[in-house]
Amino acid sequence: MEQKFTQQQVQIQKQVQVQNLTPQQLLLVKLTEMSVNELEERVEKELLENSALEESNVTDTEDKATEEDTNDIFSEEKDEEEMSGSDSEYDERRNDYATEDDTPDYLLQSAYNSEEPAYVSFGMQESFYENLKNQIGEHDVTDRQREILEYLIGSLDSDGLLRKSLDSIYYELAINEGIDTSVEELKEVLTILQSFEPVGIAATSLQECLAIQLRHIEKPSENVIIAQRIVDKHFDDFINKRYDRLRQLCRLDNVQFDEVLHILQHLNPRPGSGLSDTTGDNNQTVIPDFTVRQDENGSFEILLNQGEVPVLHVSSSYKESLAEYEQNKKNMSRQQKDTALYLRQKIEAAQNFINAIAQRQDTMMRTMKAIVNLQRAFFEEGDSSLLQPMILEDVAKATGLDKSTISRVTKSKYVQTDFGIFPLKFFFNEKFTTSGGENLSKMQIKGKLREIIEAENKKKPLSDDDIADMLNQAGFPVARRTVAKYREKMNIPVARLRRQ
């Protein structure tokens, strides 16, 4: 029996509720993400673009009172309304809190002697070159090879490639360092450097960089082998995107060629960019967004740095002009109606901007207050091992704000404390649960690890296995590889290099 099938198009109406942020909420989102310098520029731009927005001509006394009102948010116990509208629908914009592995474990000592915020030349914990130099200790090299390795590392470009010829380096070593070597020895040492992380570092060309990365793929598939052949024999066609020619040369169909091309396009042409490069002019000048101080009574004072942002108000002349038009609304001409609409729009924009600035201050202070409360032990002692497990959700619950709002507040923001200047991301720690159910932060584990190493016999330093056993006995169930990872991040060398 022959079966017949008919195809019919059916139109279905579906109701979906979508929540969009209002322009006012979007403005608050942008202002919250800004640093002090960016906020100053944004306010200056708004003053130029909207003539209904003006700086307040307040006296020094009034200005001081305004500043005190802003900064006293921390100490005042009053009900605060959450900003109108949740921005949880903007989850894709969240920058989740930095884990312990992402956050540098540094402490910049910066004693402040005045009321002015500190300006600090601030870098990441490790520079691009320091990161590579620290990896030398992971390899069995002679003192001579170490010297050559350090010189090669210093000769790398910012993208991690070595564009100097080995002949040039041979002469530089002889003249600058007094090291008599040979090109053959340099090749041997360069091979050691090329085994460092990230894969592809110290390659002498882009072609070699990609080839090294492909060779490091374990159990290469057929497509990886084809990609290796393209880099080795048809590199010029690849970088010039002569894909039709490549497809024919490799005798591949469209599907397989796309798979091979995907492998090639996902290699890293600049392996050095994956390391934290803070050398030269890349150092960032940091202006703390907050200052946290503890007084003699043990209470904390939190100050929000507003920089050169002036006190703002809506132009009185604009408001008076609009009031005059409104009184004569019935008799207004078309031109007068357009003028009144223009005035109303400018006044509303100015008021919305002023409200957003005030909400930003409130949100920033509420967030900083919660962080101080949750990490009180650190702000009292300055010991990073006292940092408690804390994630975005903890601060969100303490403030009543959304997690995405907390993420924006803590993004690229810094606080000046009695013990130095820290990024707000520094205070976030993943929890580590012991076998007994106790929650510890990874900073606490690091603190115990440092304590064990400082107390070891320097003539017979402890191995990572020994340290792991001692940590387990102390209630920190960690594996040897975890010990090695933490030790490296703390810039503590292996046991044989700690022997005295």
The predicted-structure confidence for 3-54, as pLDDT tens digits, reads as follows 554 555 555 555 544 344 567 777 888 888 888 888 988 999 888 888 889 9
pLDDT at position 75 is: 39
Q: What band does 189 get if pLDDT is binned at 50, 70 and 90?
A: very high
Residue 60 has pLDDT above 50, yes or no: no
pLDDT at position 125 is: 42
Q: What band does 431 get if pLDDT is binned at 50, 70 and 90?
A: low
Task: List Cβ neighbours of 194 (8 Å cut-off, separation of 6 or more).
Answer: 201, 202, 203, 212
Judge whether 350 and 392 are in contact, CB under 8 Å.
no
pLDDT at position 290 is: 92
pLDDT at position 14 is: 52
pLDDT at position 231 is: 92
pLDDT at position 233 is: 92
What residue spans define the domains of the chain? 19-123+283-426, 127-280, 431-498
Strands 431-433 and 439-441 come out as antiparallel
The predicted-structure confidence for 301-348, as pLDDT tens digits, reads as follows 999 988 888 899 999 988 988 888 888 877 888 888 888 888 899 999
d(CA 482, CA 489): 11
| pLDDT (average), residues 135-150 | 79
| Mean pLDDT estimate for the chain | 76
How far separated are the first and last CA of the chain, in Å rounded? 92
% of the chain surpassing 90 pLDDT: 17
pLDDT at position 138 is: 60
| pLDDT (average), residues 244-266 | 89
d(CA 172, CA 166): 10
pLDDT at position 107 is: 26
Show the tokens assigned to 18. Answer: 């979508």
Strands 414-417 and 290-294 come out as parallel
pLDDT at position 441 is: 59
The predicted-structure confidence for 455-495, as pLDDT tens digits, reads as follows 888 888 888 888 888 887 777 777 787 788 778 877 788 88
Judge whether 440 and 460 are in contact, CB under 8 Å.
no
pLDDT at position 208 is: 92
Q: Does domain 431-498 have CATH number 1.10.10.60?
A: yes
Residue 165 has pLDDT above 50, yes or no: yes
pLDDT at position 358 is: 92
Q: What band does 430 get if pLDDT is binned at 50, 70 and 90?
A: low
Q: How would you label 9-21 residue by residue, b for 16+ Cβ within 10 Å and e otherwise?
A: eeeeeeeeeeeee
pLDDT at position 488 is: 80
pLDDT at position 372 is: 93
d(CA 201, CA 47): 49
pLDDT at position 297 is: 85
Q: What band does 389 get if pLDDT is binned at 50, 70 and 90?
A: confident
Residue 284 has pLDDT above 60, yes or no: no
Residue 188 has pLDDT above 90, yes or no: yes
Tell which wins on pLDDT, 363 or 281: 363
pLDDT at position 361 is: 92
Residue 362 has pLDDT above 90, yes or no: yes
pLDDT at position 386 is: 78
pLDDT at position 132 is: 83
The predicted-structure confidence for 69-114, as pLDDT tens digits, reads as follows 434 433 333 344 433 344 433 343 333 333 333 333 322 333 333 3
Beta-bridged to residue 420, according to DSSP, are 417
| pLDDT (average), residues 350-368 | 92
pLDDT at position 62 is: 44
Q: What band does 439 get if pLDDT is binned at 50, 70 and 90?
A: low
Distance of CA 247 to the CA centre of its chain: 41
- Write a three-state SS string for the chain: CCCCCCCCCCCCCCCCCCCCCCHHHHHHHHHHHCCHHHHHHHHHHHHHHCCCEEECCCCHHHHHHHHHHHHCCCCCCCCCCCCCCCCHHHHHHCCCCCCCCCCCCCCECCCCCCCCCCCEEECCCCCHHHHHHHHHCCCCCCHHHHHHHHHHHHCCCCCCCCCCCHHHHHHHHHHHHCCCCCHHHHHHHHHHHCCCCCCCCCCCCHHHHHHHHHHCCCCCCHHHHHHHHHHHHCHHHHHCCCHHHHHHHHCCCHHHHHHHHHHHHCCCCCHHHHCCCCCHHHCEEECCCEEEEECCCCCEEEEECCCCCCCEEECHHHHHHHHHHHHCHHHCCHHHHHHHHHHHHHHHHHHHHHHHHHHHHHHHHHHHHHHHHHCHHHHHHCCHHHCCCECHHHHHHHHCCCHHHHHHHHCCCEEEECCEEEEHHHHCECEEECCCCCEEEHHHHHHHHHHHHHCCCCCCCCCHHHHHHHHHHCCCCCCHHHHHHHHHHCCCCCHHHHCC
